[in-house]
Chains A and B, each alone.
Chain A
């Protein structure tokens, strides 16, 4: 970009006194040397003078009423928007609640099933030993005190107690 082109874009601002002191001095110095820019400056100044003489256009007769009506509509829209937004707030909560309920309904049986499976694994040996004593009782030469001990130990462990440590 050459200096003339740059200065020509600043002429309007120069006339309005909107440039910095350094830029004003720079434009002034250029105008002293450049006739084209001086012509441009005069044209802009004449245009501004003409525009300053123009009368402002008259407003429509219903402008004030139209403006008030528009402001009222905007106010009503804002008022209408506010309750709607407040009506919406329970909906996410309901969605969350439903999601939580779904999670509970899915996970509780799964967790319970898992716990039941673990519990079954834990008590299985004692239950099986207890049941086995009934088959062992068919043996007429199996010692009854021994069978009683096995069954009673198993019964106690099945209710969650363990007086002598687990059977290994």
Chain B
């Protein structure tokens, strides 16, 4: 136990020193620094963003995810090996038990034992430079205090996007920078997703084989429709898809268009356009209504016309509607009200 503790201490010092070289926060951090032993909240956040690159751990995590009107509880074993490799073994409920996800930082490999299928897709790991690119000016950041989670001291931080209403609370392990607990709360919808470890072990020197996927004999391998390529300018996207893609270059709330990518899967051919305000992301999907019927699933949304529907998966909500012969969908970590307001900005009259 002595060596992992020593290693963690070294990691903390290195991370703190590295984070201290980052630009200072605009606001005074006197009270915070006294609570955090001379480290600012922003430095803790940078450390949390850096943790996947520098810390190994293995633990059991409980996820609470909003699905429709209900919260679903999912238990998963999560292992991480630096730099940026992750393994998820889903344990319950029964519908996900046995599901295995291995992410090597470039690709996600998902094995579903019930159907003996393997799905390949782009990595879900955060960008390796996330600690550097994190811009605290895009948030209202507040230190809420210091608490223990599973017997470990954590720094509790509230992050509120400067133009947003949905807040995130992080419980960041003081020693390693690993986020031991996270909650996303929406003023309209309440808790939309929560994740916390019920146990965790650090510095285990996890074997590399745990993070090397092997396709089981006879398993069917399916590629995902998600394109891992770079974002394209809209004119290039239009040429690739063969239909006009009308999308505003900016949306209320500070969202600006980053670029787009084609989405193709069976009969679906749509343009996905990504927006960002520096703290939040949005994806707008555009497809000709002649090729895509009205959504038959999801709750109806007043104000989005007869085809207006919404589905929710925890922190991610999706709305769909039709305007002038175009099928549109907008998704992001926003409340229904925020998305509907943005939809009206997209089409002018949702």
- Interface residues, chain A, CB within 8 Å of chain B? 116-125, 127-156, 158-159, 161, 163-164, 166-168
Q: When the two chains form their complex, are residues A159 and B115 in contact, meaning their CB atoms are under 8 A apart?
A: yes
Of all chain A residues, the one with the shortest Cβ separation from B168 is A141
Cβ–Cβ contact B291 & A149, under 8 A: no
Separation in Å of the A19 CB from the closest CB of chain B? 86
| B195 contacts the other chain (CB 8 A) | yes
Q: Which of B76, B115, B331, B332 has the most CB of A within 10 A?
A: B331
Q: A127 with B292: in contact, given A132-B316, A151-B124, A159-B117 (CB under 8 Å)?
A: no
Give A25 to B206 CA distance when docked, in angstroms: 135
Hey, what's the 0/1 contact readout for B30-71 against A, CB within 8 Å counting as 1?
000000000000000100110000000000010101011100
Interface flag for B114 (CB, 8 Å):
yes
In the complex, what residues of A have CB within 8 A of residue B210's CB?
none
Stretch at the interface among B9-17, B146-154, B242-250, B295-303: B295-303
Is the Cβ of A125 less than 8 Å from the Cβ of B124? no
A–B Cβ pairs within 8 angstroms, 26 of them: A117-B267, A117-B290, A119-B267, A120-B293, A121-B292, A122-B296, A124-B292, A125-B298, A128-B263, A129-B311, A131-B283, A132-B332, A136-B333, A141-B48, A142-B315, A143-B179, A144-B86, A144-B88, A145-B61, A146-B195, A148-B88, A148-B110, A148-B124, A149-B74, A159-B115, A168-B68
**B313 in the interface (beta carbon within 8 A):** yes
In the complex, the chain A residue whose C-beta lies closest to that of B172 is A141
Contacts of A116 in B (CB 8 A): 266-267, 291
Q: Is the CB of B48 within 8 A of A156?
A: no
- The answer for the CA separation of A132 and B282 in the assembled complex, in Å, is 8
Q: Among the listed stretches B21-29, B125-133, B337-345, which one makes contact with chain A, having 4 or more residues with CB under 8 Å of it?
A: B125-133
- Find out whether the CB atom of B320 lies under 8 angstroms from the CB atom of A143: no
Question: Chain A interface mostly helix, strand, loop or mixed?
Answer: helix
Contact assessment for B318 and A129 in the assembled complex, using a CB-CB cutoff below 8 Å = yes
Within 8 A of A (CB), among B92-146: 93, 95-96, 99, 101, 103, 108, 110, 112, 114-115, 117, 119, 121-127, 130-131, 134
**Given the interface contacts A120-B267, A127-B265, A139-B281, does A133 sit within 8 Å of B127 by beta carbon?**
no
Taking CB atoms, residues of chain B closer than 8 Å to A118 are 293, 296
The answer to the question of B182 belonging to the interface, with a C-beta cut-off of 8 Å to chain A, is: yes
Contact A143 B283 (CB under 8 A): no
Q: Which 5 A-B pairs have the closest CB atoms?
A: A168-B68, A121-B293, A116-B267, A140-B130, A163-B95
- Output the least CB separation between B281 and chain A (Å): 4
**Which one of A123, A144, A153 contacts B124 once the chains associate, using CB atoms below 8 Å?**
A144
Interface of chain B residues 312 through 350 with chain A (CB within 8 A) = 312-316, 318, 320, 327, 329, 331-333
Q: Which residue of A lies closest to B133 (CB)?
A: A140
Interface contact A141-B170, CB-CB below 8 Å: yes
- With the chains together, A122 CA to B320 CA distance in Å? 12
Which of B114, B123, B267, B290 is packed against the most chain A CB atoms within 10 Å? B267
Which chain B positions have C-beta within 8 A of A152?
96, 99, 101, 110, 112, 119
Nearest neighbor of B179 in chain A, beta-carbon distance: A141
B96, B226, B291 interface centre (most CB from chain A within 10 Å):
B226
Query: Quick check: B126 and A123 within 8 Å, CB to CB?
Result: no
Q: Please report the C-alpha to C-alpha distance between residue A131 and residue B93 in the assembled complex, in whole angstroms.
A: 24
